[in-house]
Amino acid sequence: MDVIANQLFAGLSMASILLMIALGLAIIYGAMGVINLAHGEFVMLGAYATWALQTFWGIGILPALPLVFLAVAVVGWVIEKAVVQKLYHRPLDTILATWGIGIILQQAVRLGIGAESRFVRGPDLLSGNTQIGPLIMSNYRMFVIVFSVAVLYGTWLLMTRTEFGMKLRAVIQNRGISECYGIEAKRIYSFTFAYGAGLAGVAGALITPLFSTIPTMGTGLVVDAFLVVIVGGLGSLIGAASAAVLIGEATALFSLVINDTLGRIAVLAGIILLIRFRPRGLFPTETRR
Amino acid sequence: MKRRDFLGGVGAVGATGALAAPSLLTMTGRAMAQGNDIPVGLLFSLTGAVAVVESTLHDAALMAIEEINAEGGVHGRQLRPIIEDPASDPATYADRARRLMIRDKCVSVFGSYTSASRQAVLPVTEQRKNLYWYPTLYEGRECSRNVMYGGAVPNQQQDDLIPWAIENFGPRFFMIGNNYVYPKEENNYCKTLLEEYGGEVVNEEYVPLGHSDFSSVINRIRSEQPDVIFATVVGDSDVAFARQYHAAELDPAKMPVVSLTRSEVEVKAIGGEAAAGHFSSAPYFMGHNTPENEKFVEAYKARYGADTVTHFVSEAAYFQVYQFKAALEKLDPGNITPEAIRDAAVGLTLNAPQGEVLIDENLHTHLWSKIGQWQANGQAEVLVESSERIAPKPYAAYDGQSCTGEGLVKA
């Protein structure tokens, strides 16, 4: 029983990391229909930005979060303006273009900073564990869980309670008509892409104390994030959240029952089955393009 | 780092163009050396996934070559390094090895970190009757007459380690490794030793290469409460594992991680604080106190930066070049073939940074076994050092098979 409780917590922790990475991807895809294969590299840039802030300016992870968000958002904004914007009517080309951008970013970091793994110190404030009965929870992992829920809520507020969100939803529903009403769809798209990129950067910053910071770290993460987005239903926030929890917990429980290698296979097989019966994911959004 | 990576990338495109440069420069000084130098291949990945480690091996081997050249070469002939970048892809290793051995007429090629890349080069080097110098510790079970193995095989890392760990911590071992041949073979040998010394395996677990979330493994360790975590996790997985192990506040004094793969490179990325208190078994640690090592570390830092580290694979990449040189010196300068070099190398002793090493007739190397405990400053303090060199037995886990000077012998 103790093992199961601890394993459920581990699953929740994995889910929170998955959610942080997938959220940006889900927003970009849901709003713009752009499959952003450079998303993993945004995560990696976030991790390296955290490393740079800590190593050169002595800024810890927590105060660095808003700076990292801004820095990666700016990178995303520039990429959207320079490349993605020219390709809105050619979805296949955006896949290729963002993939290429991903490779460029990865190699740029490798050449500019070096290929070896970098060390980022975790926040002292959140070191240690909290024990409730048999359940032992790492404080840092708990923080990531709370933080990801907060970001999810914040994003939901942004989408539903602000003028920007209203415009974005209008553009998603019908771009032509919204433009007739004076909404500048281009600008909305740029901000959305930048916001998604910024979220990826924050995700990268959050995982640095747990994972190893290397130029290729994004490649594996983006695959998991895509799984979350596909299972959750394209572009749905609540879908992304529930899919992240589902995949995280499934991974944790399978790896408890069998082991990590076979557990991974079982999770992927489960996802294939799910897509077979719900091809548009758990919570598909009704949109018109 | 960045400059070297860039040069590596350029080297891959215009290999000969860029690489003729060192010999052209030396030509002006010694006209005699022209056309008379000795071509040697360097086949380490400077780009791609394993470049993190392999570029350090490349650096160490290249440094040795240039040191030898600066001292006048071998029989007055310079070594001409020909650098290829196989970009971490096994098929490219085979292709570039062929190019080095056929087009560039290298009498030896130094290269590889992973077993996959060594095995890709193996058929090429055997077919061309060339010589491949492989510096990495590996899983054994191989006995080529065309590969010089400079790293430890399982018995050289474990023979001292396992009885020591049982005595100091207890008999219950938790095995964790990445899911490929190296960890499985190491664990295989470890199990035979555990049987001999009265230990037991409480869990044996393999995670995919590049696996980065160890929370379920750590939960299992917590509930099993083993005495020793026997780790063969490699590269970034090991970094993630060590950091999460530390974050979970598992105490190294009660449940130490004993690793065969964790070196100064990984510890630097893990952070000294999280690595402190755990153990590694290796023939070499950066802090080892010999004049050869002092010279090696000093030269390496002077050349590649004060914050760089040397480790048990880069040390072998370095001393293997000197073994190659010593073998060449025994030969008639007019008649240098890879097979003659091999035969001359057998039985050679050399003062390597780790201590005096000897090349066995099975072409593996007699090495010193050391058990080091990691300290918060990122260096290991050697607690146990073998009193004599340990002979390489690549088939130690397999009864009735042994690797000899005539190749593999089955009883």
Please list every residue in chain A whose beta carbon sits closer than 8 Å to the beta carbon of residue B6.
111
Please list every residue in chain A whose beta carbon sits closer than 8 Å to the beta carbon of residue B244.
210
What's the pLDDT score for residue A202?
A: 93
Give per-residue pLDDT as tens, B98-138.
Answer: 999 999 999 999 999 988 899 999 999 999 999 999 999 99
| B249 and B390 assigned to the same domain | yes
Nearest CA in chain A to B220: A3
| B297 and B277 assigned to the same domain | no
| B31 and B101 assigned to the same domain | yes
| B255 and B379 assigned to the same domain | yes
| B120 and B45 assigned to the same domain | yes
Task: Please report which confidence band the pLDDT of residue B408 belongs to, taking 50, 70 and 90 as the band edges.
Answer: confident
What's the pLDDT score for residue B33?
A: 37
| B142 and B166 assigned to the same domain | no
CB contact under 8 A, A117 and B52: yes
CB contact under 8 A, B2 and A129: no
Please list every residue in chain A whose beta carbon sits closer than 8 Å to the beta carbon of residue B213.
10, 14, 17, 210-211
- Which pTM value belongs to this model? 0.84
Nearest CA in chain B to A265: B208
| B210 and B348 assigned to the same domain | no
CB contact under 8 A, B243 and A210: yes
Please state, in angstroms and rounded to a whole number, the distance separating the CA atoms of residues A99 and B320.
41
| B20 and B130 assigned to the same domain | yes
What's the pLDDT score for residue A286?
A: 61
- Give the count of Cβ contacts less than 8 A between chain A and B: 113
| B143 and B185 assigned to the same domain | no
**Worst-scoring range by mean pLDDT, B43-52, B335-344, B391-400?**
B43-52
What's the pLDDT score for residue B27?
A: 40
CB contact under 8 A, B5 and A111: yes
Instruction: Estimate the crossing angle of helix B51-70 against helix B2-13, to 10 degrees.
Output: 80
What domains are defined for chain A? 2-127+139-277 (1.10.3470)
Q: How far is CA B179 from CA B136, B241, B245, in A?
A: 19, 15, 19
Flag whether pLDDT at B1 surpasses 70: no
Q: Enumerate residues 6+ apart whose C-beta is below 8 A from A210.
A: A17, A122, A140, A141, B212, B213, B240, B243, B244, B247
**What residues make up the domain containing B121?**
2-152+289-366
CB contact under 8 A, B2 and A112: yes
* Averaged pLDDT score across all residues of chain B: 87
What's the pLDDT score for residue B145?
A: 92
Task: Measure in Å the smallest separation between the Cα of A97 and chain B Cα atoms.
Answer: 21
With pLDDT > 90 as the criterion, what percentage of chain B qualifies? Answer: 64
Task: Measure in Å the smallest separation between the Cα of B239 and chain A Cα atoms.
Answer: 6
CATH number of the domain bearing residue B167: 3.40.50.2300
Please list every residue in chain B whose beta carbon sits closer than 8 Å to the beta carbon of residue A138.
247-248
What's the pLDDT score for residue B155?
A: 92
Q: Enumerate residues 6+ apart whose C-beta is below 8 A from B79.
A: B37, B38, B40, B65, B68, B69, B73, B325
CB contact under 8 A, B236 and A113: no
Q: Which of B5, B239, B240 sits opposite A110 (nearest CB)?
A: B5
Check: CB of residue B63 under 8 Å from CB of residue B22: no
**Interval B204-220 mean pLDDT:** 86
| B351 and B379 assigned to the same domain | no
CB contact under 8 A, B223 and A115: no
CB contact under 8 A, A116 and B52: yes
**Interval B371-395 mean pLDDT:** 92
Probe site for chain A from B4, B88, B215 (most A CB atoms < 10 A):
B215
What's the pLDDT score for residue A149?
A: 92
Instruction: Estimate the crossing angle of helix B312-329 against helix B291-304, to 10 degrees.
Output: 110
What's the pLDDT score for residue B24?
A: 43
Q: For chain B, what is the domain count? A: 2
| B80 and B180 assigned to the same domain | no
- Domain-ending residue, one of B366, B382, B398: B366
Stronger pLDDT, A25 or B83, i.e. the higher one? B83
What's the pLDDT score for residue B11?
A: 42
What's the pLDDT score for residue A285?
A: 66
pLDDT by residue for chain A (289 residues), tens only, comes to 677 888 888 888 888 988 988 888 888 887 777 888 889 999 999 999 999 998 899 888 888 899 999 999 999 999 988 888 888 778 788 889 989 999 899 888 888 887 777 888 888 777 777 878 777 888 888 888 999 999 999 998 988 889 888 888 888 888 888 888 888 888 888 988 999 999 999 999 998 888 888 888 888 888 888 888 888 887 678 888 888 998 888 888 888 888 778 888 888 999 899 888 888 888 876 654 4
Task: Measure in Å the smallest separation between the Cα of A50 and chain B Cα atoms.
Answer: 15
What's the pLDDT score for residue A112?
A: 86
Q: Which of B207, B240, B248 sits opposite A212 (nearest CB)?
A: B240
**C-alpha torsion A197→A199→A203→A206, nearest 10:** 130
| B97 and B8 assigned to the same domain | yes
Give per-residue pLDDT as tens, B245-265.
Answer: 998 888 899 999 999 999 998
Rg (CA), chain B: 21
What's the pLDDT score for residue B18?
A: 39
Task: Measure in Å the smallest separation between the Cα of B194 and chain A Cα atoms.
Answer: 23
Flag whether pLDDT at B3 surpasses 60: no
Buried/exposed code over A158-185 (b: 16+ C-beta within 10 A; e: otherwise) = ebeeeeebebbebbbeebeebeeeebeb
